Chains A and B, each alone.
Chain A
Amino acid sequence: MIFLRRQLPLLITMITGLLFAGQYYVPHPASEQLLTSATKWLQIIGGFALVLGVTSLFHQHAAKIRRKEAGWGYSLVLYAGMLGTIGVGLWANGKESVDGAMTAFGWVYSFMMVPLQGTMFAILAFFIASAAYRSFRARSREAAVLLIAAVIVMMGRVPLGEYLIPLSGDVSQWILNVLNASVRRAILIGVSLGAVALSFKIIFGVERSYLGGSKE
């Protein structure tokens, strides 16, 4: 049992980890084929896993409705939306339009999903404004530096700003290309080394907690 729960997954992880790390260095079509097959497998497994996810979603919201928890009405909306979309999707055979005419499924996507997604994304502008207001208050020396840099970059990125302060365009570009880029690269070097080290730990079984458990 321990072999199935611990050693076998570790063995599979090690073999596949080494195999696909090696695949990066092999340009042969057999190697490409291996990668393509593995990607397809992952897609198939992902498809089955989606059943798991949707089951979890239905279960979660069914429990909420049954217990009449706070906001259980939203769960009803979710059920209605989900079953309704599945229904129109099956009816339209999964097609958004037939002979140029929009199906009900296409209508749901174009006139419900897209505007809702657009609305969520549009809220971002207001959230950026409120977050910027809080963080750009010059409460400390660091915050003051952030404020000055932000004002210069903002002025340099909008036509009116560059018109009012002509130098702001060049200075803003310098801040982005030199200061910002160098710090980003430093972070990326650290991230890459961290990711490689974590990969080594996982491949060679040093890090096992992702399997659910620690050392034994």
Chain B
Amino acid sequence: MAVKRGTSYIKRARIVKALWSLFLSTFTCVWFGSLAFAQASLTPPADLQVIDTPNDGGESLTLIWAPHALDGPEARYQILLGDAGATDPASLKTIAEFLANTRFVKEVKASWWTRRGEKTWHQYVIRGGKDIELSNGTAYTLTVAILKGDERAVGQLIQATPAPNWFNWNQLNNLILVLSFGGLVFYTISHAKRNEIFLRRIPGLDAVDEAIGRATELGKPILYLTGAHDMGDPSTIAAAVILGRVAKRVAAYETELMVPHREPITMAVCQEITKQAYLEAGKPDLFKEDSNFFITSDQFSYTAAVDGIMLRKQPAANFFMGAYFAESLLLTETGASTGAIQIAGTDSDHQLPFFVTTCDYTLIGEELYAASAYLSKEPIQIGTLRGQDIGKAVILSVILIGTVSATIGVVTGAQWPYLFLDLFKDLK
């Protein structure tokens, strides 16, 4: 029995040993196999391109690569940068690390005609700065590595050289539209020379004569402000142009004109304009050099001074043309309290409610730019207004077509609407 028992014990021990060996060998195979499989699956980023960042001022490089099978929140990408000629990835410095499901071509603010890869591809832009040194004309070695857990696969090492560009192709649509609009304006000017163009009434400008006439009757001066900006701003130029027309009539009526300024260059320009207006009106002897005078560049000091002039001199007509800020209501409300006729014209949309509330007439936005044409009635000037109107019609059509296209694009998932929408995107 003991022998039998001993034999069966040996048999059992052999079976257990065989099973253990089988288990060990199977485990070893599976473990090594899985390791081998994992190593095979962590392939380096493919189709890597390193280019000089297009449409910029230089000192920048762009990396573009195809999406990876492991793209997701568990994996990460590393951007590696080193000197030219580096062949060992270990010698490269890691300059950025981010999740593998971020930094796509579609996130980059670029139009379809400047995009360098598919929307689903990854894109990373390196810009030279405090931590990263990138100099124009110097070659650098770059690559992308993918990380998952402790594993890392490094892509192909590529050399690239940053360089500045001479044209921003992202703004090509802007340039084409500006040139088209310019062409349109000149066409309408030449058209206006041959044909009469209807100009709708602008009550604020019709009231200019009335205001000057009233000031003449009352023997009181006229106050004209050119706004807060300098001569670099179109609204100030428009205000100066209107001043010329107003000054000509003021000279004809022999009324006093006061033009306080916030900016000395604007003052000098307006002095010349006023002088010429008096000459053209045949009253050069009535021109006073100090009708245009400087007060201060400080916003509220200027406002206080002009308010003081309004209260002391009691002008019969106040003109507020150009750009304004918080001082608009302080000026116009004081003017209203003196009983003056007030005509405002501004492109500062945020101040329009104050002007509309406190002035008798307000030129809203573009009417300020139309004033010169309206007052002069010159065909060459009126032609530009027709050009602006056609421009507005085009913009309205684009808004309408764009809204419909974008809706179709969202509903159907089609890409073609974006080809159209991109043409009118970022037209600043």
Contact = CB atoms under 8 A, between A and B. Distances in A.
A132 B235 CA distance: 27
Nearest to A212: B272
A179 interface: no
A131 B329 contact: yes
Interface string B219-234: 0000000000011101
Given A74-B308, A193-B181, A26 B392 contact: no
Contact of A210 (B241, B267, B370, B388): B241
Interface stretch (A27-35, A94-102, A157-165, A166-174): A27-35
A45 B264 CA distance: 10
Contacts of A56: 264, 267, 290, 292-294
B122 interface: no
Interface in B335-389: 336, 347, 349, 352, 354, 356-358, 364-366, 368-370, 372, 376, 378, 380-381, 384, 387-388
Contact of B330 (A32, A120, A191, A212): A120
Contact of B357 (A32, A52, A124, A132): A132
Interface string B186-199: 10010000000000
Contacts of B330: 120, 123-124, 127
A194 to B, nearest CB: 3
Contacts of A52: 264, 267-268, 294
A197 B372 contact: no
B300 A121 contact: yes
A124 to B, nearest CB: 6
Interface stretch (B38-46, B165-173, B401-409): B165-173
B82 interface: no
A129 B372 CA distance: 34
B312 interface: yes
A177 interface: no
B49 interface: no
B347 A116 contact: no
B358 A193 contact: no
Interface stretch (B52-60, B62-70, B106-114, B143-151): B52-60
Given A56-B267, A212-B273, A27 B388 contact: no
Determine chain A's interface SS by DSSP, over half rule. Answer: helix
A82 to B, nearest CB: 10
Contacts of B349: 184, 187-188, 191
B240 interface: yes
Contact of A57 (B295, B300, B395): B295
Interface in A186-204: 187-191, 193-202, 204
A197 B300 contact: no
B273 A190 contact: no
A26 B388 contact: no
A67 B265 CA distance: 28
Interface string A49-88: 1111110110110010000001100100000000000000
A24 interface: yes
B225 to A, nearest CB: 16
Contacts of A204: 186
Most buried by A among B57, B299, B364: B57
B76 interface: no
B380 A206 contact: yes
A195 B358 contact: no
Contacts of A7: none
Given A56-B267, A135-B356, 17 more contacts: A46-B264, A52-B267, A53-B263, A56-B292, A59-B290, A116-B301, A131-B333, A188-B349, A193-B181, A195-B235, A198-B234, A200-B185, A200-B186, A204-B186, A206-B384, A209-B244, A214-B376
Contact of A196 (B178, B238, B276): B178
